[in-house]
Every structure is written in C-alpha cells, then in structure tokens.
C-alpha cells in the first residue's frame, strides 16, 4: 500500500485522489467524518485554496463547521451534485452558503 501525506495544501491532494478514483480502485481518501467526505468538492469550491484565495480570511475548518452545524444547508447544497440543474439554481444555492457562513444575521431562511 502506498500513501501520500499532504505537505501543504491537502485540498489539491484530495481533489486529485477523487479524480483518480474511477480509474484507480485503490485510491483511498481518509476523512474524519462522512459529512466532510460527501461534500469535499463543495467545500473546496466555496472556500478556495488556503494558500491563494481563502474567502475573507476564513479557514477550511469554518466551512466544515458551518456544514456540520446546519442540516438545512446540507440539504440545499445537494443541488451542486445534480448535473441537470440550471445555472440560476446553482447560483441561488451558492449564495446561501455565505449567508450561513457569516451567521445569517438578517434572519434569512436557508431553505427559502
């Protein structure tokens, strides 16, 4: 068995491993929780690369905690996994994540 430890940016290593998984059945990505594993591509898409484009100084852990602590948001972001969604629907849902990330101080419903 071979393994690789992420030296700096674990996101890149994880995304590459996921991309190889269909053709390499031995690719394994170890993640602590199923919520993270199921949504790793969404987390990476929304949070960017830590070394170049972190969203407003939030680290990946804040994105993960936001997802873990918000079951309604987990339901809503399933749209990102649906290939036939309209671009408008994806943008609408994509706008809901920052609302949850920043605390939803205005009282908007994630599901509306």
Query: Using one digit for the tens of pLDDT, what is the confidence trace for 6-53?
Result: 666 677 777 777 787 777 766 555 555 777 778 878 887 787 765 555
Would you state the pLDDT for residue 21? 74
pTM score: 0.57
Q: How far is residue 33 from each of residues 30, 57, 64, 69, 108, measured CA to CA in Å?
A: 9, 24, 10, 13, 28
Q: Output the average pLDDT for the chain.
A: 74
């Amino acid at each position: 068995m071979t393994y690789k430890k992420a030296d700096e940016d674990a996101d890149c290593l994880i995304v590459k491993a996921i991309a190889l998984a269909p053709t390499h059945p031995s690719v394994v990505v170890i993640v602590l929780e199923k919520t993270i594993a199921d949504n790793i591509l969404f987390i990476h898409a929304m949070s960017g690369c830590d070394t170049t484009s972190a969203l407003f100084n939030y680290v990946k852990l804040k994105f993960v905690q936001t997802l873990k602590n918000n079951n309604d948001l987990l339901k809503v972001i399933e749209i990102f996994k649906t290939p036939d969604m309209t671009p408008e629907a994806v943008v609408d849902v994509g706008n809901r994540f920052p609302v949850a990330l920043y605390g939803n101080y205005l009282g908007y419903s994630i599901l509306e």
